[in-house]
Chain A
Amino acid sequence: MDFALLHDAFWGLTFDGLALGAIYALISLGYTLVYGVLRLINFAHSEVFMIGTFSALVASGIMGVKVEDDPRTGWNMIFTLLICLVAAMLASGITAVLVEIVAYRRLRQRGATKLATLISAIGVSISLVELFRIITDSLPREFPRIMDKTFLFSYAGADIRNDKVIVIIAAGLMMFALERFISKSRYGKGIRAVSMDENTATLMGVNINKVITVTFLAGGLMAGAAAFFYILVYENTSFKVGFFLGISAFTAAVLGGIGNLKGALFGGFVLGILETYTSAVFGTAWKAVISFLILVLVLLIKPTGLFGESIQQARV
């Protein structure tokens, strides 16, 4: 245990935690949105994220970026980054929609049990992981450095790095856009109506299938953005990347109160910071264990999360 490190590098760790938390928050939106409309955890969401990271990787390859190259500059850099971001978002968005069709749709229409649906989703998840394990030969992949990483300034001993600043700001913008979408657009209203009461929503003429597709799409786009930011900051990925990020992001969603968008944002940041602190103290090898313990503790102490679930009590 190393409390000295936590003490000395406190602000630096906090900043790193915020960047990680922004990524968690983006992923956890997918869990929260889907939970809102389906009352189910989307087990394949972690793989939606994983596929986003690989798509960003492929896109960078197509753009001619190589690991040994110098970072790009100016418009060239911005353009390349944007292409990778869009590629990740598209791939994740499409994957999420496909996941819904393959794993959920038919079962929902048949009125299958929750257990059957969860099993179906876990089947999709495991198949995707295995597919990518086979494709990548179980090896991790490195992401080339597109953008030169520089320290913008120092604050209280913390070095503020540009890529992480970008991640935090961009994630904030994405979530703002999503929030607008949910509260203002026609589909957003549909999502809220279905989250509140599916039967009433159907009676009011909401097309449930369309709403669910849009929900998965929105969650997938956010996970894709998270995937791009993840790979930008950490510069590697592997077929396993979804598993632990998925559990952490889910923990973030539960921490904030699942089904609650603001909660996801807040939960993401809190968890990101908490994880960074605790891995400084206990070592990164224990990071997964610690996030898991946090999840169990949250469920034990306040299962409805800090902001409460935005879900009605079950009716009997």
Chain B
Amino acid sequence: MSEKLLELKNITMKFGGVTALSEVNLHVSKGEIAALIGPNGAGKTTVFNVVTGVYKPTSGEVNFVGQSVVGKKRYQVTKMGIARTFQNIRLFGESTALENVVTGADVHSKSGVVGAIFGTPRSRREEAAALERGMELLEFMGLKHRAGQLGKNLPYGDQRRLEIARALATNPQLLLLDEPAAGFNPAEKVALAATIRKIRDAGYTVLLIEHDMSLIMDISDRVAVLDFGQKIADDVPKVVQNDPRVIEAYLGAPADAS
């Protein structure tokens, strides 16, 4: 395949006695929609947390466009080009939808406190650009009419979409989506699938955690499967679907509602 954007090598993550990930190798290639699936507690979110610098892996390497992200500060990882959403929505509820998105867009501004106080030309320019970018993304996610409303007051589906808009605002090369369709009805899922494709077509690479198999089969180019912290499969959707180990992992575990 084409060039590897993200690569996890032998990642092990332990929390006290719990081994959430053991010796996981995983990669995401530029321009694809990759999916990460697995039963509850398999370690999917932990992969995101390791990649974005929330946790430092117990051992192993994480490389992003050739650079190691282990030990980097979280905001530096975001600046390098990885952005994410959260399984349990974590918007800035007391900020408006637009402010949520612009907070992400601020990553690439250079001016800070001093610029803001004195209203330097660069600060003005960057403010205007960030606001414009924010509006653009709200419109893209179908949230333009929500711009002035507080994050906490948005309907559930809009909150999920706003999280994606906020992540996109940081201009990531790699977008990590943690169960973006959780709680969606079938129609919303179809619309979301279209949006994710559109995001990919705009040049972003996507790594997606999802429980909905038909959604996964529909949009992903490649699927990796985790079970009890170990990767048990990694291939195109068709192959993974028929892999006996994957079937066993899912049948062995209680069915998932979401």
Q: Give the contact-size bracket for chain A.
A: under 10
Q: Give the contact-size bracket for chain B.
A: under 10
Which chain A residues border B55 with CB–CB below 8 Å? 313
- Expressed in whole angstroms, the Cα–Cα distance for A313 and B86 within the complex equals 17
Are A316's CB and B16's CB within 8 A?
A: no
Are B15's CB and A316's CB within 8 A?
A: no
Are A312's CB and B16's CB within 8 A?
A: yes
Contact count A vs B, C-beta below 8 Å: 7
In chain B, residues 39-74, which have Cβ atoms closer than 8 Å to a Cβ of chain A? 49, 54-55
- Expressed in whole angstroms, the Cα–Cα distance for A313 and B15 within the complex equals 8
Which chain B residues border A312 with CB–CB below 8 Å? 15-16
Which chain A residues border B16 with CB–CB below 8 Å? 312
- Expressed in whole angstroms, the Cα–Cα distance for A312 and B86 within the complex equals 20
Tell me the smallest distance from the CB of A197 to a CB of chain B, in Å.
12
Which chain B residues border A313 with CB–CB below 8 Å? 15, 55
Which chain A residues border B54 with CB–CB below 8 Å? 316
Main secondary structure of the interface of B (DSSP, over half): loop
Tell me the smallest distance from the CB of B50 to a CB of chain A, in Å.
11
Which chain B residues border A316 with CB–CB below 8 Å? 49, 54, 86
Closest to A316 in B: B54
Closest to B55 in A: A313
Q: Interface 1/0s, chain A 280-316, versus B by CB < 8 A?
A: 0000000000000000000000000000000011001
In chain B, residues 83-120, which have Cβ atoms closer than 8 Å to a Cβ of chain A? 86
Which chain A residues border B86 with CB–CB below 8 Å? 316
Closest to B54 in A: A316
In chain A, residues 121-170, which have Cβ atoms closer than 8 Å to a Cβ of chain B? none
- Expressed in whole angstroms, the Cα–Cα distance for A316 and B176 within the complex equals 14
- Expressed in whole angstroms, the Cα–Cα distance for A312 and B55 within the complex equals 12
Tell me the smallest distance from the CB of B70 to a CB of chain A, in Å.
16
Tell me the smallest distance from the CB of A180 to a CB of chain B, in Å.
24
- Expressed in whole angstroms, the Cα–Cα distance for A249 and B16 within the complex equals 28
Closest to B45 in A: A316
Tell me the smallest distance from the CB of A200 to a CB of chain B, in Å.
13
In chain B, residues 1-34, which have Cβ atoms closer than 8 Å to a Cβ of chain A? 15-16
Tell me the smallest distance from the CB of B126 to a CB of chain A, in Å.
28
Tell me the smallest distance from the CB of A314 to a CB of chain B, in Å.
9
- Expressed in whole angstroms, the Cα–Cα distance for A316 and B54 within the complex equals 7
- Expressed in whole angstroms, the Cα–Cα distance for A312 and B14 within the complex equals 12
Tell me the smallest distance from the CB of B75 to a CB of chain A, in Å.
14
Which chain A residues border B49 with CB–CB below 8 Å? 316
- Expressed in whole angstroms, the Cα–Cα distance for A316 and B74 within the complex equals 12
Closest to B87 in A: A316
- Expressed in whole angstroms, the Cα–Cα distance for A313 and B55 within the complex equals 9
Which chain A residues border B15 with CB–CB below 8 Å? 312-313
Q: Chain A residues in contact with chain B, CB under 8 A? A: 312-313, 316
7 pairs from A and B in contact (CB 8 Å cutoff): A312-B15, A312-B16, A313-B15, A313-B55, A316-B49, A316-B54, A316-B86
- Considering the complex of A and B, which 7 residue pairs feature the smallest CB-CB distances, nearest first? A316-B54, A316-B49, A313-B15, A313-B55, A312-B15, A316-B86, A312-B16
